[in-house]
Chain A
Amino acid sequence: MPVGRAMKIHFDWRLSRVVDDQDNIVDEIVWDGPMSPSGLAKRLLKIQQGRKLPEVITLAERFPDAEIDPLGSLSDPNWPKAEESDELFRRATLTLAKMGVAESSGDMDRRLDMLVSATLEARSSWTTSESRCIEWVGFFITEADLDSQRGEIPSAISSSQSIVEASEKLGVNPPKHLPSDSEWSSMVSHALAVTSSSDILEQLEVSIREMATLHVPSLSALLGPISAAKLVSLARGRERLARMPSGSLQVLGAHAAMAAHRRGAPPPKHGSVLFSMPQVNRSPRWVRGKIARYLAGKASIAVRVDHFDGETWGKSQIDEINGEIEAIKAKFPKPPKR
């Protein structure tokens, strides 16, 4: 077998070739597999992922000194054109792009992000509708207690035939002025929307809990699945969260304050997801910063454990961390002197 110097293997989906330094063809293999779009799509995917085609492997075995060109045939000026297979190639690229798009729904990060974003939007519209519903009902049923009975009001309206019946359900006197029939119907529909969006929110949170516990089990154990999911979504993916310094993780969610901080304002305090953890915001204010920093460090480790296939944290690790937080609080029982 001739051992030429600086031999190279050039290839595309159709043809693989060994050429020497004078651009002479030393050996070649033409692909003779089935000429179907899906078959070709798989070959293109293989090349795109940097895996070797079978013909390239064969040629590399025949010429162990030959160097495989990672860019296929791009640098080969004598590469033959294959216009007869243009249509096949075209259909294969369309198939491959569609396969890639279909594949993307397997991405847990994006699925979690859909749930988290849907929850955020649903919650903001729920808050608006719910407070309008309460104001509206309170406007007529003046004796209802809008604080203690707040939770019952939407369902009391949506399940009643008339406003008088609704006031009975709430245990108070009927209103002095009654809404018109169509006005009442509007109130009922509005109240129905409020109760059904409460159900939607509940369902969404159930799914987030389920998915976050699977996707980021250690982080979910540490911060709770909802906050864990929010962090993954804010970081735009588990991998990005895992590669993030804990200082960045600590302020995730406080974009506006962080941007202001970069321009000279004091650092963010309340906006971040981590701050909303009871371990932080229920602690005395003079230890909050210390706890937040400590917890961010631990959360950062937890997500790395989850992403890089470590051993998932159990109750003992979490208890240890919570114990440490108590120790921090115990160490600083009094506010610092000014």
Chain B
Amino acid sequence: MANKAKSIVWGVRREGRTLWTRNAVKGISVRGERRKRDGRIEWRRWDPTKSKVAAALLRTSAEPSSLLPDPGSTCLYLGASSGGTVSHIHDFVCGADNHHCGQVVAVEISPRMVRDLVTLSDRRVGLVPVLGDARKPAQVAAFIRGKANWIHQDLSIADQAETFVKMATTFLSPGGIGLLSLKAASERSSEGDDNSRFQKAEQILRNSELVLLERIDLTGLEEQHVVFSCASSL
């Protein structure tokens, strides 16, 4: 690997403007992304135009590693869709055959998406697919082994910020990190522009028990989206 490659956390690298995760299932791409070998290690390209977490890593003004869970963490992913981003999180939180003993719980409400998620989880030990409503703590609690060190919410519903506050205060362990991907177009209000919707969400986060760390603008990688990074109080 080129000299300018920089490790963010174990299993995540940045090379110039591209991100790579250490593939937990060698020889297989999840959605057609590039792979490359480096000795015995295989890296899988993490596309920031398809994954909001990857985009946030490139756009944050804080230390990128502060946005990611450590290997072996317990992670909760709300709105997993077909599992693109989830697979990268799994790459470094669990690793091949889950040798880090991590857990990534991926919640998704659409059966069509869960179908793909099941196929993905079949090969990835430590990844738990859950067909359920990501807004309801009781639908998720049975599957997670304890409080989560890291939560990411990516739901296209109204009241995303309120839901995030509810879920993060319920599930985040002290010192845990929460990321909220906010899509402007999903908010219900028909008045005001995207920015006013982001402001409103920001206010909700500020008034909550969570500590808002940064508002990361993804313009250029993912339009009409921002990622809020938060920490649990305590």
Interface residues on A, range: 20 to 34
Closest CB-CB distance, A244 to chain B, in whole Å?
A: 15
| B179: interface (CB < 8 Å) | no
**Chain B hits for A13, CB < 8 A:** 142
User: Which residues of A (168-206) have their CB < 8 Å from a CB of B?
Assistant: none
| Minimum CB distance partner of B113 in chain A | A101
Determine the chain A residues whose CB is within 8 A of the CB of B146 once the complex forms: 74, 79
Q: Across the interface, do A94 and B118 meet the contact criterion of CB distance under 8 Å? A: yes
A74 touches B121 (CB 8 A): no
Asked if B100 lies at the interface with its beta carbon under 8 angstroms from chain A, I say: no
The answer to whether B114 has its CB under 8 Å from any CB of chain A is yes
Interface 0/1 of B126-149, CB less than 8 Å to A: 001111100001110111111100
Q: Is B203 an interface residue when CB atoms closer than 8 A count as contact? A: no
Q: How many interface residues does B have (CB within 8 Å)? A: 27
A-side binding surface: helix, strand, loop or mixed? Answer: helix
CA–CA, A50 to B142, complex, Å? 10
Judge whether A101 and B114 touch: CB under 8 Å.
yes
Q: Which interface residue of A96, A98, A101 has the most chain B CB atoms within 10 A?
A: A101
Known contacts A74-B144, A81-B145; is A93 also within 8 Å of B128 by CB?
yes
**For residue A98, which residues in chain B have a CB less than 8 angstroms away from its CB?**
118
Our pick among A74, A81, A101 for the contact of B147 (Cβ within 8 Å) is: A74
Residues on A with C-beta less than 8 A from B118 are 94, 97-98, 101
Contact pattern, A 60-95, Cβ under 8 Å of B = 1, otherwise 0 = 000000000011101000010101000000100110
Asked if A338 is at the interface (CB within 8 A of a chain B CB), the reply is: no
Does B200 reach chain A (CB closer than 8 Å)?
A: no
Q: Are B137 and A71 in contact (CB under 8 A)?
A: yes
Contact status B129-A97, CB under 8 Å: yes
With A44-B143, A101-B111 in contact, do A93 and B129 touch (Cβ < 8 Å)? Answer: yes
Contact B122 A93 (CB under 8 A): no
Is the C-beta of A262 less than 8 angstroms from some C-beta in chain B? yes
Q: B168 to chain A: which residues have CB within 8 Å?
A: none
Please measure, in the bound complex, the distance between the C-alpha atom of A47 and the C-alpha atom of B144, giving whole angstroms.
12
Q: Identify A74's interface contact among B114, B171, B190, CB under 8 A.
A: B171
Smallest Cβ distance from B139 to chain A, in angstroms? 5
A residues 247-294 near B (Cβ < 8 Å) are 262
Q: Is B201 an interface residue (CB 8 A)?
A: no
B142 close to A97 (CB less than 8 A): no
| Residue B115 at the chain A interface, CB threshold 8 Å | yes
Label chain B's interface by main secondary structure.
helix
B219 contacts which chain A residues (CB < 8 A)?
none
B residues less than 8 Å from A148 (CB atoms): none
Q: Is A48 an interface residue (CB 8 A)?
A: yes
Q: Write out the residue numbers on chain B whose beta carbons fall within 8 Å of the beta carbon of A44.
A: 142-143
Give A71 to B141 CA distance when docked, in angstroms.
6
User: A-B pairs with CB below 8 Å: how many?
Assistant: 62
Binary flags per residue of B1-41, CB closer than 8 Å to A gives 1, else 0: 00000000000000000000000000000000000000000
Query: Which of these, A12, A90, A100, contacts B125 with CB under 8 Å?
Result: A90
* B132, A71: Cβ atoms closer than 8 Å: no
Report Cα–Cα, A72/B190, bound state, in Å.
Answer: 39
Kindly state the separation between the CA atoms of A242 and B101 in the bound complex, as whole angstroms: 47
Contact A100 to B131, CB < 8 A, known contacts A71-B137, A71-B170: yes
From A47, which residue of chain B is reached at the shortest CB distance? Answer: B142
Q: Compute how far the CA of A93 lies from the CA of B132 in the bound complex, rounded to whole angstroms.
A: 12
B138 cross-chain contacts in A, Cβ below 8 A: 48, 50, 70-71
- In the complex formed, the residue of B with least CB distance to A97 is B129
Interface pair B122/A94, CB less than 8 Å apart: yes
Cα of A71 to Cα of B167 in the assembled complex, Å: 12
> Does B111 lie within 8 Å of A104, measured CB to CB?
yes
B108's closest neighbor in chain A, by CB? Answer: A97
The CA-CA distance from A93 to B128 in the complex, in Å, is 7
| Residue from the list A70, A74, A93, A262 in contact with B130, Cβ < 8 A | A93
- Choose one: A81, A90, A101, A262; the contact of B190 (CB below 8 Å): A262
B117 within 8 A of A: yes
Tell me the smallest distance from the CB of B39 to a CB of chain A, in Å.
30
Within 8 Å CB of A90, what residues of B?
125, 128
Nearest CB on B from A93, distance (A) = 5
What are some 27 contacts across the A-B interface (CB < 8 A)?
A: A44-B143, A47-B141, A47-B142, A48-B132, A48-B138, A48-B139, A48-B142, A48-B143, A50-B138, A70-B137, A71-B170, A74-B147, A90-B125, A93-B121, A93-B128, A93-B129, A93-B143, A94-B121, A94-B122, A97-B129, A98-B118, A100-B131, A101-B114, A101-B115, A101-B131, A103-B111, A104-B111
What is the interface of chain B, defined by CB distance below 8 A to chain A? 101, 111, 114-115, 117-118, 121-122, 125, 128-132, 137-139, 141-147, 170-171, 190
Given contacts A74-B144, A93-B143, A97-B118, 11 further A-B contacts (CB under 8 A): A12-B142, A70-B138, A71-B141, A71-B170, A72-B141, A74-B171, A94-B121, A97-B130, A100-B131, A101-B111, A101-B114
Task: Give 3 nearest A-B pairs by CB, closest first.
Answer: A104-B111, A100-B131, A47-B142
